[in-house]
């Protein structure tokens, strides 16, 4: 189950196609979007707005694994707490995975306001020794799809800068809204590029196949 | 303005007395509790439940400075974002203050489930070099006031252990629900003891007198 | 391809069964052991002995993804460098995966000599904020299979201590030689238990399905 | 009591005015300067020179709280040790306070020689995850007041650079000699600006009102 | 030149013998003690008292390299600043050297008040990942020589505990007053034991032979 | 004994001269190069190739102290493990020594591929708070001696940049192949310059004179 944590269902169909294409054959994909809520997650406030309905979905729906489809990992701790199934955030899946592929990881975020928030998330995860650059393309989330060409160009430019200047050897896309163009970017960037929505899907499949889920002891105990 | 982030007003009066007694003469105290919500904040889920109403209060009420009266600092980032007045959490106020008083800080938390959450908060704050012990008295928040004697005894015992064994030279109470007994504990503990609700009040007064509030640039930009 | 980095093929068959059972249906498993080399990897010296042949295998064999089947990740950097296919170590796969499941990770290692080595590996990975306990059951690798009952009992005991005393909420087995008993341990330990050989297999499948491999820029450039 | 840790009393009057204006109504201000000592604190050596007389003042004078009025926190540990009253340094007060206001803190120091010293102090405080930029305006302390316009312009320029380029969301002035121009700078800088002398004063009032002082256990035990 | 940073010359002769015995043949040893000052360095205050005279000695005496003979490294930064010759502290020499010999370093200090001070010094040095245990034998410096047998027994006991329980693989003596018994302890402790006075002497010889001294750029620029 | 970890003896004579000149009078120098192996150590793979023969030399030759003469410290842990004599790597000797001389250390490496490897080594050593800049002159090791003038100019340029821009106050040469020009560079760089081969030699002499060698407990236990 993919929870699109936004108050619109207009992306549900395209998301279904994207996840279905990336999923293993025997994985069923269900996209759930919110009845109410902002169209984009671009602030701490928008995260607060969407979390109650997300928890409600996690508590009432039937699923084997759930993904809250936003790089910022909104209410991920509460989600792991209320659910006794696998719950994954694209941000965490992509970043932990990136650690396997190189030494020095950079995130390409849409907006400069994301930079401090993502650094706080990285510090919370305790991986700031490895992931210590967050770049911004200065295109707000809602404008990402306006002109795909501009967005792609901006990502390639920032990625090139962070690889050449900062010595990044892996690049992580900092927004699940960049998913649709990710495959077109891979050849243009000289290091591995991780798309977080697909990363979350595959990690969810992995945990399901290993029959492991988040700890229900102490931290996520209900 | 003190926001009691719980769905009951039964503590409002006692809280008013406590804050009034600790406040500067020219500080007006207003206690606001929630219309709806859990009686205690004891999980990530309970934090999610209360946050929308907290943000709403911050956006509609008139105040110079607001305190979200819970040590766990629920939705503190969103609160600092939506408000253009001073917003403070007791957890952050108490912990940053503690760094001035000694080298090695311990938190005494009610429940062992709090231990990992508080450690994550400390890591998020980036002060884990100094605050690296969280002790639990294993009395859930809702039972803290049942038998004050037992609670006091348990806090004194844990504080003594962390001072003698871990070498803590400052102790921070890990729940604003311990406020009423804090003054009775001070003589029983050989190191400075910080009560977070009073700490937040005084820090709010301090920032107001210096005419400083949280950065509205990047991170808390609306 | 699974490289058993030891100079004996006596485990190849059992390993084949284990990996086959854990693998996705369309994953072909090939076990390769060394012509020459120590029977167990229990020292830095034994890692040095096996590495030239491992690199040779990686450079001459045909495979989509390779796992060097030892928790200590011997010559993992050289392996990722010489190969232009996916190369994974069980230690790194298990530890990065564990970060998704809880906050405080403990490793259960066979021997107390492993403790400093694993701590160095964790520091090299830059995840020492989260993985900071290595426990030892004081049974050398070569004795792990002598009496399975004793080994299982020792692991359960150490895991219970690290969960109750250190507050670990995830436990990682610190030797791929513990793979065969891992499934029998899961019910006896109150937190998620990660078996590194299976973790490496599933992560290799994941990376293959996403068509990503280690960075060949800078660090692993040949 | 404000200890001006320099061998001249020419700043005492202006300092009295400054602190009096920032103080709470019921706070008495006393400025004490040294009989002997350098005119400015610009080296480790100058700190050594002034410390014996500072400790002597702390041991013989009557006061409720003392501030050693220099950002570099000279002999702050010895001062907290010999005194059984509140002792505060402007550097520590300003930096710990800044952590409440944003995520990424920059210090603007007078001289490039201050940069490594302030980084060492920050590391000693254990807050280098948050405070990791020290900028210099390359105007030695003794020249700060020569041409106020130049000093102000230089601070605004460095602050703007650190905000735009380094992503700082709070700026701390790295010298109490910048106090007199601080209020004129606030409007010119897009993030909160902390003046350390005033910060120390208000923190001293705060601790006094809470009846807390530095730990006299272990570290500051006499 | 060895500066005994205490106001008594009674140890000068024994110190001369000790250093002479450890020195290279062509190294001249000169012991200088202070005219005024405490008999032992046991507090931050005592460090403040001795520093002006130490700097004076460094500025007026003729020498190739100077050692301030105290593990706590009193006024080491000021000393390196005022002198254009090699200046070394036993604490820093011993700790940086210890990093070469094992992974996990413990310090055995005389008194429990030393524990937080030494941890601050270690943090200032930025080596807290490796040196993270300070043990105390609870014998104040002035009593170390009272009954050598008791002191030796206490050191051996604490060292054994830190090796067996904390997994330390190197032990550093945390007081130059333990120098005379160091050679008798070596056989009783299963890991390398570093005596800081001798370490400082040999490091001074090393730097002299390489013709390197502390940086006079930025940090130690006068 | 100096082990030149390369499959050619053409540098042995020049190395003998260099070490002899730097050595104490009573130190005997023996240069040993490998029978087989790459001409230069420029990859993880080349480190794997040379290690078995290095361990063999350490186990069969007679010596008091051995240096594996490469900045990257190839198989240093295995070397310390198999030998019961002193074993030192130039990289570790130079870096730990540099910590005594300034606060902020930069490494000048030959090739940009070295940058991530050296950062990993620094993190493994746990000194990344102090050593956090690795610069590259973009001249591969094999070309270092082609035109000494170009190499010297490139090192001076990078060193000047890292001193002026990054605030480095000590510079460490990141390749023992730069040894022959080191003495000619010292006057051109405004901060102490450490040449790792000489550093290793002097540290080996130091440890020998103190009769200390690496811990044979836990980590390097055979």
Nearest to C163 by CA among B105, B115, B108, B118: B115
Other CB atoms within 10 A of residue F92 CB: 22
Do F129 and D112 count as a contact with CB atoms less than 8 A apart? no
Number of residues in chain F: 222
Task: Give the model's pLDDT for residue B62.
Answer: 95
Mean pLDDT of chain F, nearest integer: 96
Largest CA distance in chain C: 48
Q: Report the pLDDT averaged over residues D73-89.
A: 97
In the predicted model, what is the mean pLDDT of residues F207-218?
Answer: 96
| Structural contact between residues B175 and B71, judged by C-beta atoms closer than 8 angstroms | yes
Mean pLDDT of all residues in B125-142: 95
CA-CA distance, C78 to C55, in Å (whole number)? 7
Closest residue to E78, CB basis, from D45, D55, D222: D45
pLDDT at B12: 95
Does chain E reach chain D with at least 3 CB pairs under 8 Å? yes
Closest CA to C176 of C59, C36, C67: C67
Other Cβ atoms closer than 10 A to F211: 10
pLDDT tens-digit readout, A24-35: 999 999 999 999
Q: How far is F13 from chain E (nearest CA, A)?
A: 21
Closest alpha carbon within chain F to C45: F78
Cα–Cα dist C43/C46, whole Å: 5
**Res F222: pLDDT:** 86
How far D103 CA lies from chain A's nearest CA (Å)? Answer: 7
What are the DSSP E strand ranges found in chain D?
Answer: 2-4, 31-33, 65-68, 86-88, 105-109, 131-136, 170-173, 193-194
The residue assigned the tokens 């990336």 is A22
Band the pLDDT of C17: cuts 50, 70, 90: very high
Mark whether F and B touch (3+ CB pairs within 8 Å): no
Is the pLDDT at F48 greater than 90? The verdict is: yes
Tens digits of residue pLDDT in B110-131: 999 999 999 999 999 999 999 9
**Contact (CB<8Å) C210/A202:** yes
Task: Give me the pLDDT at residue B13, please.
Answer: 96
User: B116: which residues sit within 8 A by CB, 6+ positions away?
Assistant: A218, A219, C102, C103, C104, C167, C169
Give E-chain residues touching C128 at CB under 8 angstroms. Answer: 129
pTM, 2 dp: 0.95
**Res. D38: pLDDT tops 90:** yes
Q: Which of D88, D102, D202 sits opposite B100 (nearest CB)?
A: D88
pLDDT, average across residues D105-119: 95
Q: In degrees, to the nearest 5, what angle opens at C-alpha B51 toward C-alphas B45 and B52?
A: 120
| CB nearest to E78's CB, from D44, D82, D115 | D44
Rounded (5°) CA angle E168-E174-E175? 155
CA F100-F103-F107 angle, 5° bins: 85
pLDDT at D222 exceeding the cut of 90:
no
Interface contact flag, D44 E126, Cβ < 8 Å: no
User: CA–CA separation, E123 vs D128, rounded Å?
Assistant: 11
Checking DSSP bridges between strand A105-109 and strand A170-173, what pairing results, if any? Answer: parallel
The C-alpha atoms of residue F90 and residue F72 are separated, in whole angstroms, by 8
HSE at residue C43, side-chain half, CA atoms within 13 A, is 19
List of long-range contacts for D16-25, beta carbons under 8 Å, 24+ apart: D18/D179, D18/D180, D18/D197, D18/D198, D19/D197, D19/D198, D19/D201, D22/B209, D22/B210, D22/D198, D22/D201, D22/D202, D23/D201, D23/D205, D24/B24, D24/B209, D24/D205
* C114-154: pLDDT as tens digits: 999 999 999 999 999 999 899 999 999 989 989 999 999 99
Chain D residues with a Cβ under 8 Å from any Cβ in chain B: 22, 24, 88, 92-93, 96-97, 99-104, 125-127, 129-130, 163, 167, 169-170, 190-194, 198-199, 202-203, 205-207, 209-210, 212-215, 217-220
Å between B22 CA and nearest CA of chain C:
36
CB F149 within 8 A of CB F184: no
Chain-chain contact of F219 with E102 (C-beta, under 8 angstroms): yes
Collapsing DSSP to helix, strand or coil, F172 comes out as strand
pLDDT computed for residue C222 by the predictor? 86
E166 φ, ψ (degrees, to nearest 5): -90, -10
Selected residue of E68, E79, E84, E206 to mutate for chain F interface (largest F Cβ count, 10 A)? E206
Do D106 and D87 form a contact (C-beta atoms < 8 A)?
A: no
- Alpha-helical segments (H) within F100-195: 114-125, 148-164, 179-185
F114 and F180 in contact (C-beta within 8 Å)? Answer: no
Please list the ranges in chain A whose pLDDT falls under 70: none
| Mean pLDDT computed over D197-204 | 98
Asked if E194's CB is within 8 angstroms of F214's CB, the reply is no
pLDDT, tens only, B10-43? 999 999 999 999 999 999 999 999 999 999 999 9
- Asked if E123 lies within 8 A of B129 by C-beta distance, the reply is yes
Q: Which of E47, E49, E218 sits opposite D113 (nearest CB)?
A: E218
Q: Which pair of structure tokens corresponds to residue B88?
A: 């403070």
Q: How far apart are CA C184 and CA B52, in angstroms?
A: 45
- At C50-99, the pLDDT tens digits run 999 999 999 999 999 999 999 999 999 999 999 999 999 999 999 999 99
* Backbone phi and psi for residue B55, each to the nearest 5 degrees, phi listed first: -60, -40
Contact C13, C43 (CB under 8 A): no
pLDDT in tens, B190-221: 999 999 999 999 999 999 999 999 999 999 99
Residue E117: pLDDT over 90: yes
Residue numbers in E near B103 (CB within 8 A): 116, 119-120
CA distances from D126 to D132, D139, F81 (A): 11, 28, 34
- Rounded to an integer, what distance in angstroms lies between the CA atom of residue E110 and that of residue E137? 5
Shortest Cα distance, chain F CAs vs residue E201, angstroms: 10
Please report, to the nearest 10 degrees, the dihedral formed by the alpha carbons of residues A113, A117, A122, A128 taken in order. 60
Residue E103: which of C112, C119, C128 has the nearest Cβ?
C119
């Amino acid at each position: 189950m993919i929870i699109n944590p936004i108050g619109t269902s207009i992306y549900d169909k395209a998301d279904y196609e994207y996840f279905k294409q990336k999923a293993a054959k025997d994985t069923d994909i269900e996209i759930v979007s919110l009845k109410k809520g902002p169209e984009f997650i671009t602030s701490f406030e928008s995260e607060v707005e969407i979390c109650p309905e997300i928890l409600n979905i996690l508590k009432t729906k039937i699923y084997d694994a759930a993904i809250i489809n936003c790089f910022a990992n909104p209410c991920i701790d509460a989600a792991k707490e209320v659910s006794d199934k696998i719950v994954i955030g694209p941000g965490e899946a992509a970043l932990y995975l990136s650690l396997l592929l190189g030494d020095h990881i950079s995130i390409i975020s849409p907006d400069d306001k994301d930079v401090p928030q993502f650094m706080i998330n990285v510090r919370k995860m305790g991986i700031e020794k490895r992931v210590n650059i967050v770049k911004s393309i200065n295109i707000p989330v809602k404008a990402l799809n306006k002109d795909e060409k501009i967005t792609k160009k901006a990502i390639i430019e920032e990625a090139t800068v962070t690889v050449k200047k900062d010595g990044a050897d892996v690049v992580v896309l900092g927004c699940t809204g960049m998913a649709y163009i990710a495959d077109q970017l891979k050849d243009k960037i000289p290091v591995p590029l991780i798309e977080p929505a697909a990363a979350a899907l595959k990690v969810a499949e992995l945990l399901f196949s290993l029959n492991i889920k988040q700890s229900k002891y102490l931290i996520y105990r209900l």
